[in-house]
Amino acid sequence: MLAATHWLGLANILLFLASSGLAFSTNVLLRRAEISADELLEAYDIIIVGGGQAGTVIASRLSENPDVSVLVVEYGYFNTDPAQLEPNSIGFSSRYQYNITSVPQTGLNNRAIGIYAACCVGGGSTINGMLLNRGSAADYDSWEALGNPGWGWSELYPYFIKSSHFDAPSPAAAEEYNMTWGEGSYSDGPIHQSFASWQWPGTGIQRQGIIEAGAEPQADGSGGDAFGVIWYPTALDNATALRSYAVNGYYQPASERPNLHVLTGWRVDRIVFDEHNTAVGVEMTRRVSSGGCRAPKASVGVKREVVVSAGAIHTPQVLQRSGVGPAWLLEEAGIEIVSELPGVGSNLQDHPVTSASFNYTTNVLPNPSVSYLDPEFMAWATQELEEHRSGPLRISTGNTGGEVPLTAIDPEGYQAIVDEYLAQGTGDYLPETYSEEQVAGYEAMREQLALLMASPDNAWLELPLTGSTSLSTVLIKSVGRGTIFLNTTNIYAEPIIDYHTFVNPVDVKIMASNLRFVRRMHETPSMQQLGPVELVPGPNVQTDEQFESHIRQSSRSSIAHNSGSAVMMPRELGGVVDAELKVYGVQGVSVADASIMPIIPAAHTCSTVYAIAEKAVDIIKSRHGL
């Protein structure tokens, strides 16, 4: 059955390639490193838990050394759907995702929020929106300031560069749209990134509007200057306009190596430790098509290190099931404590979002609001994509937008927000499960967050621009902190997730400032050309109270950027891993994925995960002399 779907998928890809006439140079034999459970070796040098985005990168890089045996265990399967490579394939469909809902969010009028978490080889990079922006230097410098030497911008930037490859748009497009980029921010790395050479004309007008409202255009956008108005690439190979992701960028070139094994459709249940708290292997169970897992189970030994890359939603769950986590939780779940680490599953962050919507009564043509409904335009757009891999259907999630600092969002009011934040008691709005060390850790974060609020070099609002009349208004940095804990009734059920979105009123205030900024942007001379009439929040929303109530009823907790839940920080500040990514209190276990981020960067998380994974590879290699 499995083999049949595999070959069907492959046939589809080949058919698709033949029909589109593309020279798709990467190898489509996705599954050459895939093994079945009876082919497992007794032990591997490195076992990677989760073949998602980070896990795939780390496995591919470590297996460059033929003397290192690497096993990846992934709960999901290979995604062989050719449609997943297309520019508009952002995978909000459930087939390659987990099906999890948060607990009701008290800050969102008790609404429960759907959680985005990838479940397939390549993880988020396989199904995501491909918007590959990077945070500003200040984002990562705050990581280093929290006791993580080596994780500031100057040391991470080389890994952003190493993972990426940029092809410039046509000179005509660059000139027409004022596209800017920094040649030095990219290399000939595995992940291809590009700008669409055709953009909706309204995009340029919105760019001017946001500039007139006070956001400054930046030259590179990916070189540490992601504050103001920037251009950012999409993870589309410029030549083919197909998705560039961890599978075709990293894994496929590695897939013929005999020292790399990938086992899909198996769940790692726990890491097994000896009496010295040294990891000796992992236990796992096979996934069944009816959902969940059932016997057979299997165990496999590890000689050097287990790298947990199960993503920000499941990495805490794997650690907790292995006896690494808060004592109260492990006791409640009946799990023997191996290392008491209260921070495992806390510090969860994402980017809360609402949207502002307008009627542009004198809109330019073409525009995404009406042209998508025009059959003639769509016929042209479809032909452009099919014949030239260009045109509106290649834009995906877009290439430009505002990354606006609070100092520009609200030049008169930002200081009052900083003051209000610093006047709070440290623990006032934290989850009640926070321990003393964790509260101390948050106090250190608060100092950084307050600096970032008052800094012109770091964004709090993200406003992607595509000419659309509906504008995602993202809180791209947040003072709130959530939790992920085992379901103690059934530790194999999905974890219990509470984002704590908008529990802290400071986040609500900043989101209100963000919406007011979008309103102000539409009052600029450039935007007035389009005759904008605000529909949402609408003219009836004016006072702080009205904004608050609108925000609580309209926002979501997440734009699929779960991070921070196995935080890299000193242990006495509630940290889970040290700056070498080693889990405190055990030997031979590290974490490398979105969960280590102490403070979520003011950017979508994919490119940062590539940088983390590339840096993790160097750390792991140097630790074992590989």
Ligand X SMILES: Cc1cc2nc3c(=O)[nH]c(=O)nc-3n(C[C@H](O)[C@H](O)[C@H](O)COP(=O)(O)OP(=O)(O)OC[C@H]3O[C@@H](n4cnc5c(N)ncnc54)[C@H](O)[C@@H]3O)c2cc1C
In the annotated binding site for FAD, the residues are 268
User: What amino acid occupies position 442?
Assistant: Y
Which residues are annotated binding-site positions? 268
Q: How far apart are CB 307 and ligand NAG at their closest, in Å?
A: 21
Question: Which residues, numbered 391-420, are part of the site for ligand X (CB under 6 A)?
Answer: 397
Q: Which residue's CB is nearer to ligand NAG, number 219 or number 493?
A: 493
Q: How far apart are CB 386 and ligand NAG at their closest, in Å?
A: 13
Q: Tell me which DSSP letter residue 91 carries.
A: -
Q: How far apart are CB 388 and ligand NAG at their closest, in Å?
A: 7
In the bound state, the residue with its beta carbon closest to ligand X is: 52
* Residue of 63, 79, 89, 128 that binds ligand X (CB under 6 A): 128
522 in catalytic set = no
Contact criterion met (CB below 8 Å) for 198 and 385: no
Interaction between residue 329 and ligand X (CB under 6 A): no
Task: Provide the token pair at 209.
Answer: 């509007």
Q: Measured between alpha carbons, how far is 381 from 362 in angstroms, rounded to an integer? A: 23
Q: Which residue's CB is nearer to ligand X, number 5 or number 382?
A: 5
Question: Which residues, numbered 202-221, are part of the site for ligand NAG (CB under 6 A)?
Answer: 204, 207-208
Contact criterion met (CB below 8 Å) for 254 and 272: no
Determine which helix (DSSP H) or strand (DSSP E) holds 544, and give its type and residue range: helix 544-554
Q: Which residue's CB is nearer to ligand NAG, number 119 or number 617?
A: 119
Q: Measured between alpha carbons, how far is 100 from 201 in angstroms, rounded to an integer? A: 39
User: What amino acid occupies position 454?
Assistant: A
Task: Count the Cβ atoms, other than its own, within 10 Å of residue 164.
Answer: 27
Residue 129 binds: one of ligand NAG, ligand X, none (C-beta under 5 to 8 A by kind): ligand X
User: 296: cis peptide before it, omega within 30°?
Assistant: yes
Task: Count the Cβ atoms, other than its own, within 10 Å of residue 145.
Answer: 18
Does the CA dihedral 612-613-616-617 come out positive or negative?
negative
Question: Which residues, numbered 281-300, are part of the site for ligand NAG (CB under 6 A)?
Answer: 291
Residue 489 binds: one of ligand NAG, ligand X, none (C-beta under 5 to 8 A by kind): ligand NAG
Question: Which residues, numbered 263-302, are part of the site for ligand X (CB under 6 A)?
Answer: 267-268
Contact criterion met (CB below 8 Å) for 274 and 73: no
DSSP string, 424-493: S-TTTTS-TT--HHHHHHHHHHHHHHHHHHT-TTSEEEEEEESS-SEEEEEE-S-S--BEEE--TT-TTS
Residues touching ligand NAG, count (CB under 6 A): 25
Q: Which residue's CB is nearer to ligand NAG, number 95 or number 294?
A: 95
* Residue of 178, 383, 553, 622 that binds ligand NAG (CB under 6 A): 178
Residue 99 binds: one of ligand X, ligand NAG, none (C-beta under 5 to 8 A by kind): ligand NAG
Pairing of strands 43-49, 293-308: parallel
DSSP E strands: which ranges in 156-225? 164-167, 191-194
Interaction between residue 168 and ligand NAG (CB under 6 A): yes
Interaction between residue 487 and ligand NAG (CB under 6 A): yes
Q: Tell me which DSSP letter residue 192 carries.
A: E
Interaction between residue 504 and ligand NAG (CB under 6 A): no
Q: Provide the binding-site residues for ligand X, judged by CB under 6 A.
A: 49-54, 73-76, 90-92, 116-120, 123-125, 127-132, 267-268, 309-312, 314, 318, 397, 560-561, 593-594, 604-607, 609
Positions marked active-site: 561, 604
Q: Provide the binding-site residues for ligand NAG, judged by CB under 6 A.
A: 94-95, 98-99, 119, 167-170, 177-178, 197, 204, 207-208, 238, 291, 359, 361, 390, 487, 489-490, 493, 496
